């Protein structure tokens, strides 16, 4: 990994990102079920908007050994926001999300079960108020800016 | 510790975080609840008494989290045409009158009404009074909730989980 791309990869190790990933994990698999409500409902949305955009950005930096351009980063953040809005506002987009994520989960569920399991769409509650969490997309942008390569 | 060793450790840590983030993304939504359903239509000409039975396989009873038996009609009731639905087992629910604008929904607790190791059978009687034709629809649904985690992956019903509705003569 080159020094230039390392700074982008380092964004994944930023304390805010690590905390958001932990919150996302714990809240999705425990918090929402144990304490259903507004806070746990929105917590994962905020955490995912901080962590998710960094996945392809860091992966690209690792595998292509170069940091993506700021244009690419901005476009990706906007696309993430657009997808988030679409799945909460459009039934068709929500259906694509339910089936798409179900397809991605299928190999993991099959491996874990040790046998072929039925392909099942995932559960999604469409909630337009989730769009209030979209400003969280600024956080990964700020983190990437703070760790940017300084020539 | 040299700069290179530190760098390699950071790179490795970043890969672990990336891998965890990808898995968290994929597992962020639980699989949808699984349902098995069965529907039957019963035609009566009042005054008439008809029975129907809901038969659930043992696998279905063991795997289901919720059960609902919905009895409804689109026939206009009143003006002398009345009908009540009576569960054989009072633990399933109370006697209820059919109306044309709302369904009767029984939500029996399967672990209470379906104890034992055999298939579970719940009987009902529809008692229609008056002098008219009446179509009654019975919708049975068993739900198994999706797992909230991919660690226990299969939240769906197995092939042996079945539910049937038998209408008496």
pLDDT tens-place string over residues B38-83: 999 999 998 999 999 999 999 999 989 899 999 999 888 877 889 9
Asked whether the predicted pLDDT for residue B168 surpasses 70, the reply is yes
Radius of gyration of chain A (CA): 17
pLDDT band, residue B153 (cuts 50/70/90): very low
* pLDDT at site A109: 80
- Write the pLDDT tens digit of every residue in A108-131: 888 877 878 778 888 888 999 999
**Mean pLDDT value of segment B17-27:** 90
Percent of chain A with pLDDT over 90: 54
- Interatomic CA distance for residues B20 and B24, integer angstroms: 6
Tokens of A25: 């994990």
* pLDDT at site B120: 95
Mutate to test the interface with A, among B19, B30, B151, B160 (most CBs of A within 10 A): B30
* Angle made by CA atoms B57, B90, B35, in degrees to the nearest 5: 35
Asked whether the predicted pLDDT for residue B104 surpasses 70, the reply is yes
What is the spatial order of strands in the sheet that B34-45 belongs to?
B34-45, B133-144, B66-73, B104-106
Q: What SS3 state is found at B59? A: helix
Choice among A1-10, A59-68, A138-147 with the minimum mean pLDDT = A1-10
* pLDDT at site B86: 96
pLDDT band, residue A85 (cuts 50/70/90): very high
**Mean pLDDT value of segment A57-70:** 86
Note whether A133 and A44 are within 8 A (CB).
no
> H or E segment at B164?
strand B163-167
**Mean pLDDT value of segment A16-30:** 93
Asked whether the predicted pLDDT for residue B30 surpasses 80, the reply is no
What is the spatial order of strands in the sheet that B163-167 belongs to?
B96-97, B82-87, B120-129, B48-56, B163-167
Asked whether the predicted pLDDT for residue A92 surpasses 80, the reply is yes
Average per-residue pLDDT in chain A?
A: 89
Q: How far apart are the first and last CA of chain A?
A: 17
pLDDT band, residue B138 (cuts 50/70/90): very high
With a threshold of 0.95, tell me whether the complex ipTM lies above it: no
Q: Report the candidate in A87, A48, A38 with the shortest Cα–Cα distance to residue B21.
A: A48
* pLDDT at site B146: 63
Percent of chain B with pLDDT over 90: 54
- Interatomic CA distance for residues B21 and A58, integer angstroms: 11
A51, B150: Cβ pair inside 8 Å?
Answer: no
**Mean pLDDT value of segment A92-98:** 93
Q: Report the candidate in B71, B38, B68, B27 with the shortest Cα–Cα distance to residue A108.
A: B27
B149 CB-near residues (< 8 Å, 6+ apart): A29, B27, B30
Choice among A43-47, B3-7, B16-20 with the minimum mean pLDDT = B3-7
Asked whether the predicted pLDDT for residue A151 surpasses 90, the reply is no
Evaluated on CA atoms A118, B68, A95, A84, the torsion sign reads: negative
Name every chain A residue with its beta carbon within 8 A of the beta carbon of B19: none
Cβ–Cβ pairs < 8 A, chains A and B: 108
Residue of A nearest to B17 (CA): A12
Mutate to test the interface with B, among A108, A126, A144 (most CBs of B within 10 A): A108
> H or E segment at A101?
helix A91-113
Average per-residue pLDDT in chain B?
A: 87
CB count within 10 Å of CB B127 equals 18
Note whether B98 and B71 are within 8 A (CB).
yes
pLDDT band, residue A29 (cuts 50/70/90): confident
A74 φ, ψ (degrees, to nearest 5): -60, -40
* pLDDT at site B63: 87
Residue A27's alpha-carbon distances to A38, B28, B155, in angstroms, are 12, 10, 20
**Mean pLDDT value of segment A37-54:** 94
Enter the pTM of the model: 0.66
B148, A1: Cβ pair inside 8 Å?
Answer: no
B31-64 b/e (C-beta count within 10 Å ≥ 16 → b): bbebebebeeebebebebebbbebbbbbebbbbb
Q: Report the candidate in B140, B131, B139, B141 with the shortest Cα–Cα distance to residue B75.
A: B131
* Min distance A75 CA to chain B CA atoms (Å): 20
Q: Report the candidate in B82, B97, B95, B87 with the shortest Cα–Cα distance to residue B47.
A: B82
């Amino acid at each position: 990994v080159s020094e230039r791309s390392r700074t982008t990869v380092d964004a994944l190790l930023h304390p805010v990102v690590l905390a958001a990933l932990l919150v996302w994990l714990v809240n999705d698999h425990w918090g929402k079920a144990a304490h259903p409500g507004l806070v746990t409902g929105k917590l994962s949305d905020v955490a995912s908007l901080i962590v998710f955009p960094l996945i392809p950005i860091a992966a690209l930096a690792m595998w292509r050994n170069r940091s993506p351009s700021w244009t690419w980063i901005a476009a990706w953040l906007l696309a993430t926001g657009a997808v988030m809005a679409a799945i909460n506002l459009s039934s068709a987009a929500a259906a694509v999300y339910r089936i798409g994520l179900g397809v991605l989960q299928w190999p993991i569920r099959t491996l874990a079960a040790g046998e072929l399991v039925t392909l099942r769409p995932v559960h999604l509650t469409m909630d337009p108020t989730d769009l209030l969490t979209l400003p969280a997309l600024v956080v990964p942008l700020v983190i990437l800016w703070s760790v940017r390569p300084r020539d | 510790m040299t700069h290179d060793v530190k760098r390699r450790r950071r790179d490795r840590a970043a890969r672990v975080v990336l891998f965890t983030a990808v898995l968290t993304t994929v597992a962020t939504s639980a699989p949808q609840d699984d349902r098995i359903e069965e529907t039957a239509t019963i035609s009566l000409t009042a005054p008439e008494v008809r029975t129907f039975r809901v038969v659930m396989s043992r696998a279905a009873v063991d795997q289901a989290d919720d059960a609902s038996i919905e009895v409804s009609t689109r026939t206009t009731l009143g003006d002398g045409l009345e009908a009540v639905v009576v569960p054989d087992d009072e633990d399933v629910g109370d006697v209820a009158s059919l109306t044309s604008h709302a369904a009767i929904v029984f939500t029996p607790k399967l672990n209470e009404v379906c104890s034992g190791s055999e298939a579970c059978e719940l009987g009902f009687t529809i008692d229609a009074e008056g002098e008219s034709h009446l179509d009654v629809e019975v919708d049975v649904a068993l739900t198994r909730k999706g797992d909230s985690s991919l660690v226990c992956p299969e939240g769906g019903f197995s092939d042996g989980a079945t539910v049937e509705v038998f209408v008496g003569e």
